[in-house]
Structure 1
């Protein structure tokens, strides 16, 4: 069964318990306007000192930060590591990498790229940005990540595309005030968005907290106090009405939003029928620059191969864990598993997924509107398989298997579920190579969004030159901001050295997953996509896998402490924790 539905991310309810008055917002913008030029004039050494203070503050506040998120999401004690992995750890890593980039700029004129810079046969430049050091090599064994640049950048001109605001002759002479509309699901999103605006785009920031996690606002103000007291950051609160007031404010010069494409459209064109008319006519209501990360129907492309029983069990948990993290309230969560109809182990993989879904406790549906979104998918697909209790605000893990790939307007393909649900679709193909090509075309043309995609390919499959060539071509052809081989593409969000955002080229009247990037701590101005590569089975098993909650909870506080103050003496305890010892 299929249903016609507006494509994209959900429009989330925006009822706010804590609201800033117009006077408070005016005062915040006035303070930022008064200090925006001071920020531009702030030296590299002063910025390094500020980042050092922020690292110390975040590290000190981290336990309170995690506790606040865990209480709001009703997490059991063994799942609190999830909040460490999505909150303090990536923030601290981002801060450390940015600080190192500033030190590099002072010493060498630009951030030093940690890996080789190569040129593909088509002339496209590739910079390896992970691992960033030997510690990454220990903690993320055999994982690499690259940033592929847009056409027109050469290996010779690549340095000129880095850290533009710090280059002599290109430095910004006057400051700007940016509005960051924070996301409500992952606690590191708003802080790292703020850091990107400040350190990479040279803009002071007014952060409006999302109503869902407004409880974090005071902690952000406290931990970012070095920026707040100097007039470089202000935090405000409210829902859609306050957001609209800020977007229209003459003191706001740029806008960045993490959330829904519907919110982006309302910002650019205005709400309701008048906004729809403006969008159809490509006549924006607001002409300020707006960037954003706006969600995705995230695919996992399963390349057929000779998978053992252990392989099936590992990859089923891998795929399922891409959904269970944060209870499915992630823009990078698995939404559509793409398989080959003729693969003999397809049903075995699905059965392993069903076993995991039945064994994993249901999670609290803390994000507004989740029940209604889930109901819309289940009404369109009554055959949906649901696992787990639905009482006390929980939502079951839900699988919609064997969705017809020719149903172009199916809700599973056009709409981001943003809850504990994913689907599977099987493509007819004449062999593995033909399947890979069809899977790439399906992901590019039939699934909404361009944020991230994951491919899974067995090493024995990659020994076949034809299959290996097809997989490499798939990586090149997939029009996504992050393409990952054998590791959840969502990991790119946390690495910091990679970019995070949509594939470039979306227009304001068809924005899909958004425009612009964040993180990108090597400060490239013309990135096209990030490409992550890892072994088919990582050793040790990643701590974020669904059945390793206690390992996650032991490992990520140690990793956060390490990012705050790296030391070789801390490595053994981290490795032992990741091994479950």
Structure 2
């Protein structure tokens, strides 16, 4: 889909999340000192000059420019990972620093490589989808099999696959001819875009800037979140090839800076990664309903009136990635003890990576009340959740969210010095707090629905669609035998999930990290009812009219995956990978993640061999 519009008919939206990821309420720029306003104006002027440079570059020149950025990112990769680790209250080299390698330089290098290949194809007059398999997806849709596309991807992430599903009605010819977005008309400038950077994962601001440039032909002003101020020197060196010719500028600042920039008459577009409350504050102003606690007085009344009249305070288009409450649907089957332990660790990982400060985090586990192994799985989940390494719950206002969960769930099971909890959903008529509030902290809910097989899966999908806030990501765990038994019913259930990213036997973090998949909420959101956001990012093939991305992983890691491969069960994903390095219980995750990043940087085989040896010790 186009990031600013969609031809998909709007579907009923679920209530936007109310998690206060950042202070809500439109902040007046009047308190911004004159010298700061002048500096911001100068940055925008320099970017306006840069628009002329950008539209003068050929596709070949843009591809070579991406290569220079890649070299710059590689040169600062170690410093990047260290600075990100320190910013989250950990020492460099800490076992949990794996997350900072993968969610930082690793993700950005992958995106740069994929974008460069797209530009090289376009420069030769080819579609980025040439050579990519396109076939039928359920519901009259087409899908492009965009991962893996080369031998490195097949080897390093064996057993993982990814598909981009197009909106119903898109033909294969349309998909191929429209791939390229703004790079199909590279001399048409998109003006100056404002990127309000995320505060939780360090690759996001850089990736969003790249998407502005290549999907929209917009030069970009990046305002970093204050939580990432320490990363600004790293970002400046990594993006120096784009900063020098005036294609990118980076500024610091708080809410007043953001308010000044979003209302600036020379900004053509705004992109934000954050919460629905912050989005509403930018678009509509402070409102009684815009955040927990709300606002009062004339300012809130004016914002509510503007929303009712359909007259936003923001006068330019906006795209956004806003998170939500992500389900983890556990389809009952006959699991071995090893399966139960592994998938319990998998679920714990979905919630605990980055201390739960992820829009990508799984938040509600949906189990079958009729699964004979339900109690065994729950016990394993509690064990894995409590045993994971302790870490600071560092994101601003996390203490408030933990206190809110403690108040809402007095019977919650707490661990890690009361910094993480598992709560049981009561099953009342309306959604529980854990189903409607994106806690953005280590709070994991468990809800049960009845049935087994297709009955359970259909009920779980309906529960996720109707009761959980947002439409960003959904996770499904299912063993190969059960999936084979369900057959077409499983495919239909996946199509029925109204989420922009779906992960089967992996976590939606894989979708996020994979450059040729898209990342964003399900189509149909509007500024008045934004849910998990408007538009997509990453999308290195620059595909148009996208509905969702679907990733698959192996149900069992190596060596237990060998049995699935030998039995050749339909849809089973064989793999030579052991426990993935992003799992919170991986003993060598930091070393493996750093090693994989270095291999992307320098391509040295001896280093990769050492990294793979470490991976086998996970």
Range that drifts further, 107-116 or 268-277: 107-116
Q: Does 1:426 align with 2:448?
A: yes
Q: Is contact 2:166-2:547 (8 Å) kept? A: yes
List gaps (5 residues or longer) in structure 2.
1-14, 288-299, 559-577
Q: Is contact 1:126-1:147 (8 Å) kept? A: yes
Give the corresponding residue for 1:501: 520
Matches of 2:90 and 2:21, distance apart in 1:
25
The alignment partner of 1:559 has SS state of helix
Give the corresponding residue for 1:158: 175
Give the corresponding residue for 2:109: 92
Give matches, 1:12-31, under 5 Å. 12-13=22-23, 21-31=36-46
Give the drift of 1:137: 1.0
Alignment counterpart, residue 196 of structure 2, candidates 174, 178, 181: 181
CA shift digits 1:329-348 (9 cap, x unpaired): 11111100001111111111
Please give the root-mean-square deviation of Cα atoms over the aligned residues, in Å: 1.9
Alignment counterpart, residue 68 of structure 1, candidates 83, 86, 90: 83
Give the corresponding residue for 1:393: none
Range that drifts further, 23-32 or 270-279: 270-279
Q: Is contact 2:103-2:202 (8 Å) kept? A: yes
CA shift digits 1:11-54 (9 cap, x unpaired): 42489xx9981111111011111221321221112212211111
The alignment partner of 1:344 has SS state of coil
Give matches, 1:493-532, under 5 Å. 493-532=512-551
Give the 3 Å change call, closer, same or farther, for CA 113–275 of structure 1 in structure 2: farther
CA shift digits 1:182-201 (9 cap, x unpaired): 00100000000000111121
Matches of 1:456 and 1:161, distance apart in 2:
34
Matches of 1:193 and 1:529, distance apart in 2:
18
Aligned pairs, number: 563
Q: Is contact 1:96-1:564 (8 Å) kept? A: no
Alignment TM-score, normalising by the size of structure 2? 0.88
The alignment partner of 2:403 has SS state of helix
Give the drift of 1:450: 0.5
Q: Does 1:9 align with 2:9?
A: no
Q: Is contact 1:104-1:112 (8 Å) kept? A: no
Q: Does 1:244 align with 2:244?
A: no
Q: Does 1:490 align with 2:509?
A: yes
Matches of 2:607 and 2:149, distance apart in 1:
18
Q: Does 1:271 align with 2:286?
A: yes
Give matches, 1:117-132, under 5 Å. 117-120=134-137, 122-132=139-149
CA shift digits 1:152-176 (9 cap, x unpaired): 2101221122003232xx4552341
Give the drift of 1:119: 2.2
Q: Is contact 1:176-1:253 (8 Å) kept? A: yes
The alignment partner of 1:249 has SS state of coil
Give the corresponding residue for 1:192: 207
Give the 3 Å change call, closer, same or farther, for CA 415–114 of structure 1 in structure 2: farther
Give the corresponding residue for 2:428: 406
Give the drift of 1:570: 5.0
Give the corresponding residue for 1:370: 398
Give the corresponding residue for 1:546: 584
Give the drift of 1:104: 1.3
Give the 3 Å change call, closer, same or farther, for CA 404–518 of structure 1 in structure 2: same
Range that drifts further, 275-284 or 350-359: 275-284
The alignment partner of 1:28 has SS state of helix
Q: Does 1:535 align with 2:554?
A: yes
Matches of 2:602 and 2:320, distance apart in 1:
32
Alignment TM-score, normalising by the size of structure 1? 0.93
Give the drift of 1:454: 0.5
Give the corresponding residue for 1:389: 417
Give the drift of 1:113: 5.1
